[in-house]
Structure 1
Amino acid sequence: MKKTTTLANFRNMDVISVEWINNDRLLYRTADKQGDTFGVSVFAVNRDGTRERRIQLGPARILGTKGDGSSYVIMKEYLINHLDWSSDSSKLYALDTLDERSYPMTTGTQPPHIRSWIVGVDGTVKYVICSWKGIRTIYRWADEQWSKVTEYDMYKGVGVTPITVDMDGKVYGVVERSGGTTAVHQLDPATLRPAAEPFVEIEGFDFDGHPVFDAKTSKLLGVRHLSDAWSTTWVDPGMVEIQRRVDEKLPQTINTVRCGDCAATPVYLVESVSDRQPEQYLLFDPKTDRLTALGSVLPDIEPEQVGSREFSRFKASDGLSIPVYVTRPAGGGAGPHPAIVLVHGGPWARGATWEWSTEAQFFASRGYLVIEPEFRGSTGFGFAHFKAGWKQWGKAMQRDVADATNWAIAQGLADPKRICIAGASYGGYAVLMGLAQNPELFRCGVEWLGVTDITYMFRYTLSDASDETREYGLPVLVGDPDSEKDTLISMSPVSVAEKIHQPLLMAYAGADSRVPVDHGNALRSAIRGVNDKVEWLFYADEGHGWFHEPVRIDFWSRVEKFLDQNLRGTPSAGAH
Structure 2
Amino acid sequence: MSPDGKSIGMLALNNNDRFVLSVLDTATLTPKVIAGYDKTDVVSFNWVNSRRLIFSIGDVRALIGEGRGGSGTFAINKDGTEIRQLIASVGDEKTRVLNRMHSLHSTVSANEENDVYVTRQTGNRKNPSAALFKLNTLTGQNENIPAPVNSIGFMLDKSGQLRVATTSLDNLTGVEYKDPKTQQWRNLITFDNIKEDGFSPAFIAPDGQLYVRAHKGQDTTSIYRYDLEKNKIDDTPIVSTKGFDFAGRFIFNNKQNKLLGISYESDADGILWLDDKWKSYQAKIDKALPNTVNSLAGANNAENNLIIVHSFSDVHPGSYLIYNTKTEEFTAIGDRKPEVDSKKMSYKDFVRIKVRDGLEIPTYVTIPRNSTGKNLPMVVMVHGGPYLRGVHWDWNPETQFLASRGYVVIEPEFRGSEGYGKTLNRAGWKQWGLAMQDDVTDVTKWAIEKGYADPKRICIAGASYGGYAVLMGLIKEPDMYRCGISWVGVTDINLLYDVSWSDTAGSTWARYGMPILIGDQEKDAAQLKATSPVEQASRLTRPLILAYGIEDYRVPLVHGERFKKALPASTKVEWITYTGEGHGWRQPQNNVDFWTRVEKFLEENTAVK
Same fold (TM over 0.5): yes
The alignment status of 1:500 with 2:540, answered yes or no, reads yes
Identify the match of residue 128 of structure 1 among 165, 171, 176: 165
Quick check: 1:114 aligned with 2:156? no
- Tell me: CA distance 1:489–1:246, structure 2 relative to 1, closer, same or farther (3 Å): same
Q: Assess if the C-alpha contact under 8 Å between 1:19 and 1:27 holds in 2.
A: yes
**One-letter amino acid matched to 2:69:** G
Q: Deviations over 1:194-232 (max 9, x none)?
A: 111110011000001121111433410010111011111
**Displacement of 1:112:** 2.8
Q: Which residue of 2 aligns with 1:60?
A: 102
**1:347-362 aligned within 5 A:** 347-362=386-401
Cα distance in 2, alignment partners of residues 564 and 202 from structure 1: 41
Q: 1:390 aligns with which of 429, 432, 441?
A: 429
Does the 8 A contact of 2:380 with 2:411 survive in 1?
yes
Which residue matches 1:287? 326
Q: 1:477 aligns with which of 502, 507, 517?
A: 517
In structure 2, give the amino acid aligned to 1:61.
S
Q: What's the offset of the Cα at 1:35? A: 2.9
Q: Distance in 2 between matches of 1:528 and 1:498?
A: 6
Partner secondary structure for residue 486 of structure 1: helix
- 2:219–2:422 CA contact under 8 A, matched in 1: yes
Which AA in structure 1 matches 2:521? P
Amino acid at match of 1:202: T
Q: Which residue of 2 aligns with 1:204?
A: 243
Question: Which residue of structure 2 aligns with residue 277 of structure 1?
Answer: 316
Matched residues in 1 for 2:562 and 2:217: separation?
A: 40
Does structure 2 conserve the Cα–Cα contact (< 8 Å) formed by 1:79 and 1:87? no
Mapped partners of 1:29, 1:256: distance in 2 = 25
Partners of 1:397 and 1:192 lie apart in 2 by 39
> Once the 2 structures are TM-superposed, how far is the Cα of residue 530 of structure 1 from its aligned partner?
4.1
**Percent sequence identity over matched residues?**
38
- What's the CA shift for 1:528? 4.8
Deviation at 1:179, TM superposition (A): 5.9
Helix, strand or coil for the counterpart of 1:95?
strand
Alpha carbons 1:92, 1:104 under 8 Å: kept: yes
Q: Do residues 266 (structure 1) and 266 (structure 2) align?
A: no
CA deviation string 1:308-365 (max 9, x = no partner)? 1100001011110110000111323231211110000000010111121121111111
Alpha-carbon contact 2:437-2:472 (below 8 Å) kept: yes
Q: Give 1:420's aligned amino acid.
A: C
Moved more, 483-492 or 2-11: 2-11
1:35 match: 64
Displacement of 1:178 in angstroms is 4.6
Amino acid at match of 1:286: T
Contact 1:121/1:164 (CA < 8 Å) preserved in 2? no
Give 1:177 shift. Answer: 3.7
Q: Spell out, residue by residue over 1:5-53, the C-alpha distance to the aligned partner (whole angstroms, 9 max, x if none).
A: 2122223323222221111111222223543885152221111111112
Structure 1 residues 219-248: Cα deviation after superposition (integer angstroms, max 9, x where no partner): 100101110111111101111011111001
Per the alignment, in what secondary structure is the counterpart of residue 42 of structure 1?
Answer: strand
What is the rounded CA distance, in whole Å, between the counterparts of 2:349 and 2:164 in structure 1? 39
Question: Using the alignment, how far apart are the partners of 1:228 and 1:509 within structure 2?
Answer: 33
Instruction: Report if aligned partners of 1:179, 1:384 keep a CA contact under 8 Å in 2.
Output: no
**One-letter amino acid of the counterpart of residue 39, structure 1:** G
The one-letter amino acid paired with 2:224 is H
The separation in 2 between residues aligned to 1:249 and 1:157, in whole angstroms, is 46
- In structure 1, which of residues 201, 208, 223 is the aligned counterpart of residue 262 of structure 2? 223
Q: Describe the SS at the equivalent of 2:500.
A: coil
* 8 Å CA contact retained: 1:27, 1:42: yes
- Aligned equivalent of 1:25: 52
Does 1:545 pair with 2:584? yes
Please, which moves more after superposition, 402-411 or 255-264?
Answer: 255-264
Q: Distance in 2 between matches of 1:53 and 1:566?
A: 56
Q: Structure 1 residue 438 and structure 2 residue 477: aligned?
A: yes
The answer as to whether partners of 2:222 and 2:245 remain within 8 angstroms in 1 is: yes
* Contact 1:157–1:177, Cα closer than 8 Å, also in 2: no
| Structure 1 runs of 4+ with >4 Å offset | none
Q: Is the 8 A contact 1:221 1:235 kept in 2?
A: yes
SS in structure 2 of the partner of residue 319 of structure 1: coil
Give the alignment's TM-score, normalised by structure 1: 0.94
Deviation per CA, 1:134-173, whole angstroms, max 9, x where unpaired? 2211111223332222111212342121221122221111
State TM-score, norm by structure 2. Answer: 0.89
Shift of 1:99: 1.6
SS of the residue 1:209 aligns to: coil
- The amino acid across from 2:105 in the alignment is L
State the partner residue of 1:563: 602
Letter in 2 for 1:58: R
Aligned amino acid, residue 308 of structure 2: L
Structure 2 residue aligned with 1:574? none
- Residue 91 (structure 1) aligns with: 131
Equivalent residue letter for 2:174? T
Alignment partner of 1:70 out of 102, 106, 113 = 113
SS of aligned partner of 1:565 = helix
Structure 1, unpaired ranges of 5+: 572-576
Identify the residue that residue 154 of structure 1 maps to in structure 2: 193
Asked if 1:182 corresponds to 2:221, the answer is yes
SS at match of 1:560: helix
1:409 counterpart (448, 459, 473): 448
Evaluate the alpha carbon distance shift between residue 431 and residue 178 of structure 1 in structure 2; reply closer, same or farther with a 3 A threshold: farther
Cα contact 2:246–2:419 (8 A) shared by 1: yes
2-side partners of 1:556 and 1:315: how far apart? 32
Deviations 1:282-321 (A, max 9, x none): 1101111111111111111113421111000010111101
In structure 2, C-alpha distance between the alignment counterparts of 1:26 and 1:151, rounded to whole Å: 37
Deviates more, 1:519-528 or 1:258-267: 258-267
Q: Deviations over 1:470-512 (max 9, x none)?
A: 1111001101111211211221111111111111111101111
* Residue 516 of structure 1: aligned partner: 556
Q: Which residue number in structure 1 is paired with residue 500 of structure 2?
A: 461
How many residue pairs are counted as aligned between the two chains? 563
Please give the alpha-carbon distance, in whole angstroms, between the structure 1 residues aligned to 2:458 and 2:56.
41
Amino acid at match of 1:278: P
Corresponding residue SS for 2:593: helix
2:153, 2:166 within 8 Å by CA — same for their partners in 1?
yes
Q: CA-atom RMSD, angstroms? A: 1.7
| 1:490 partner letter | A
The whole-number CA distance in structure 1 between the counterparts of 2:251 and 2:29 is 30
Gaps of 5+ in 2: 1-27, 88-98
| Distance (whole Å) between structure 1 residues aligned to residue 209 and residue 133 of structure 2 | 24
CA distance in 1: counterparts of 2:520 and 2:266, whole angstroms:
34
Contact 1:307 1:329 in 2 (8 A): yes
Give 1:265 shift: 1.8
In the alignment, is the contact (CA less than 8 A) between 2:345 and 2:369 conserved in 1?
A: yes
- Contact 2:252-2:300 at 8 Å conserved across structures: no
**CA distance, structure 1, for counterparts of residue 239 and residue 68 of structure 2:** 36
| Equivalent residue letter for 1:129 | T
In 1, the alpha carbon distance for the partners of 2:407 and 2:495 equals 34
Contact 2:474-2:483 at 8 Å conserved across structures: yes
SS in 2 for 1:4: strand
Shift of 1:93: 0.9
Q: Partner residue of 2:122?
A: 79
Alignment of 1:345 onto 2:375: no
Matched letter for residue 369 of structure 1: V
- Which shifted more, 157-166 or 199-208? 157-166
**What is the CA–CA distance in structure 1 between the aligned matches of 2:103 and 2:308, rounded to whole Å?**
27
Q: How far apart in 2 are the matches of 1:493 and 1:536? A: 16
Aligned pair 1:4/2:27, yes or no? Answer: no
